[in-house]
Amino acid sequence: MSNKYALKPDELKKEFEQKKPRILKENLAGKDWWDLPVEFRDGNWCFPAKPEVLEDLHFANPRKWAATDKDWQLPDGWEKIIHDGMKDRLKRFRSFKVFMDSCVRCGACADKCHFFLGTGDPKNMPVLRAELVRSVYRNDFTTFAKILKNFSGSRTLTQDVIKEWHMYFYQCTECRRCSVFCPMGIDTAEITMMVRELLNLIGVNNNWILAPVANCNRTGNHLGIEPHTFEQNIMSLVDDIEDVTGIRVNPTFNRKGAEILFITPSGDVFADPGVYTMMGYLLLFHHIGLDYTISTYASEGGNFGMFTSNEMMKKINAKMYHEAKRLGVKWILGGECGHMWRVVQQYMGTMNGPADFLKEPVSPITGTKFTNAKSTKMVHIAEFTADLIKHGKLKLDPKRNDHLRTTFHDSCNVARGMGMFEEPRYVLNKVCNVFHEMPENTIREQTFCCGSGSGLNAEEFMDTRMRGGFPRASAVAHVREKHKVDSLVTICAIDRASLPALMRYWNPGVLVYGLHELVGNALIMQGEKKRTEDLRENPMAGFEEDDDDE
């Protein structure tokens, strides 16, 4: 079929030569750019999934191996598995096909990825990351193959290509920053998702992703905490709240007929500093007398299935609606998380919905209809709280956070995955007095990733995480120097887990907080005792024991 808009081969060649980024033109001593060596060393690879984890999940090729092994023990016929897998996905996912075909090599994305900025490795330029797979696609799948082969780089699939994919598609946190700058709207994050799916078909994987997936699959949450322990953890936080505030909050579990089901990432229930954010939620719900319940089965908002395969994401997500139906709630309220919100906002409604058994969410306190959540029936806590504050429903004393000088880190998935920028800032500004923005090109839709997202938060990967997080850390260093900022506030559980490490390395002294932890500090609870400590039991400034002007 002829297309008058399509470029002729010589035009295409010329255009390619003119536009491709420098590395694609570079004379690398007669080699192609992808011949730059890939070497797995301590700190640049994540441990592969343990055989029992793969067996649990019925995933391919369980075995003991390491990225540093020469032979990765790929299954017989692995080339065909990848080839067929790619063919199938090119058919099923239109975006994948479009992204394979439509890059014009303008280079606009080249210096936008935090992994390129933090490592200087050209294969971390989003355009080259995609070329790693595009070069195989071109060789095997396009009619352009013959035209393009001579100059644009196409290559056959070898074990070395697989090694390279493993290296670089696990040095992409699926953050989508590059897509903001791409004139063609190419989302490298989606390419990464596809390649990770393909790699899982031949048992090339990451334990830090698949172990939580297996745990979620079995018990509902990442650590595999069983219902009684899950409940015990929360009740022990209830005791802590009482120690600090004198107020006994009363969460309920698996209560049928509650109006709202509250789901948050399980990091808020077992990890430091997530648990302080959990304490903030519990105080808030008590403050407004919310009729809510927590499920010990849908005990995880996070969904590492998203970093594994579409099918796994769907399976793990299904428990949210299942549980909402079983408990007969009206709608779901979701806690502070990054990727959970990308799954909920972009996929849940069609993937596991429509959830017609739920009602369009309405705040029982203010009467506000959350029309944007009409299809998913799930509301983001920052939006919920912002609405409460806007309607004057919360008694707040922002002075209680005067011991903190804050800045706000937009989590990639909430910012670029659902477009939420204002609500958390609105809340933050109402609950504390000192807030400074990081530079413009590092926040909101241009936010820099923590460097550890999409399941790369493994301890053994620490060196690469420190490199990938360098741009974010530099932006924090900027406000630290300029405004003495010492508190990095975020609305994502992976951030709460990973940013403390990043700050300790690059900006020692800067601590990481969840937004609702600060809400919890600021809430004036009816009948509370004199508050002198924040939820971490650190002294508040100006609220000392003998200080009476509160």
Partner 1 sequence: MTRAWEQIVNENRKALLEQWTTSVMAMLPGGSTSHGSMVASAIEEELKALLDAVTDRTMQAAEPIMRITRILAIQDIPPSKSLSILFMLKAMIEELPGECDHPCRDRLEELTLQAFDSYMKHRETICQIKYDEGRRKMHMALRRVEA
Provide the angle, in degrees to the nearest 10, between the axes of the packed helices 515-522 and 274-288: 50
Q: Burial letters for 230-252: b for 16+ Cβ neighbours within 10 Å, e otherwise?
A: bbebbeebbebbeebbebebebe
Look-up: residue for tokens 């998913």?
Answer: 376
* Residue 194 contacts ligand SF4 per CB under 6 A: no
Query: Which of partner 1, ligand SF4, none binds 172 (CB below 5-8 Å, type-dependent)?
Result: ligand SF4
Q: Which of residues 117-176 bind partner 1 (CB under 8 A)?
A: 117-123
Length of the chain: 550
* Residue 176 contacts ligand SF4 per CB under 6 A: yes
Contacts of 5 (CB under 8 A, 6+ apart): none
CA–CA dist 110, 36 (Å, integer) = 17
SS3 25: helix
Q: Which is nearer to ligand SF4, 200 or 385 (CB)?
A: 200
* Residue 511 contacts partner 1 per CB under 8 A: no
Query: Which of ligand SF4, partner 1, none binds 22 (CB below 5-8 Å, type-dependent)?
Result: partner 1
In angstroms, what is the minimal distance from the CB of 494 to partner 1?
A: 12
DSSP track, 438-469: PPGGGSGGGPPP-S-TTT---GGGHHHHHHHT
* Residue 344 contacts ligand SF4 per CB under 6 A: no
CA–CA dist 62, 60 (Å, integer) = 6
Amino acid at 261: L
Query: Which of partner 1, ligand SF4, none binds 182 (CB below 5-8 Å, type-dependent)?
Result: ligand SF4
Phi and psi angles of residue 413, each rounded to the nearest 5 degrees, phi first = -70, -35
CA–CA dist 392, 126 (Å, integer) = 45
Selected binder of partner 1 within 11, 84, 111, 537 (CB under 8 A) = 111
* Residue 117 contacts ligand SF4 per CB under 6 A: no
In angstroms, what is the minimal distance from the CB of 360 to ligand SF4?
A: 33
* Residue 467 contacts partner 1 per CB under 8 A: yes
**Six-digit token string for 235:** 């009740």
In angstroms, what is the minimal distance from the CB of 350 to ligand SF4?
A: 23
- Each residue 24-43 as x (binds partner 1 by CB under 8 A) or -, in order, gives --x---------x--x-x-x
CA–CA dist 389, 379 (Å, integer) = 16
Q: Using CB under 6 A, which of the segments 23-31, 183-191, 428-436, 459-467 binds ligand SF4?
A: 183-191
Q: Which of residues 122-141 bind ligand SF4 (CB under 6 A)?
A: 126-127, 129
**Six-digit token string for 152:** 């644009």
Selected binder of ligand SF4 within 148, 186, 198, 476 (CB under 6 A) = 186
Looking from the CA of 458 toward its CB, the CA atoms found within 13 Å total: 24
In angstroms, what is the minimal distance from the CB of 110 to ligand SF4?
A: 7
SS3 334: strand
Residues forming contacts to partner 1 in the complex (CB under 8 A) are 22-23, 26, 36, 39, 41, 43-44, 110-111, 116-123, 223, 232-233, 236, 269-273, 275, 459, 462-463, 466-467, 470-471, 474, 497, 500-501, 504-506
Residues forming contacts to ligand SF4 in the complex (CB under 6 A) are 103-109, 112-113, 115, 126-127, 129, 172-178, 181-182, 184, 186, 188-189, 192
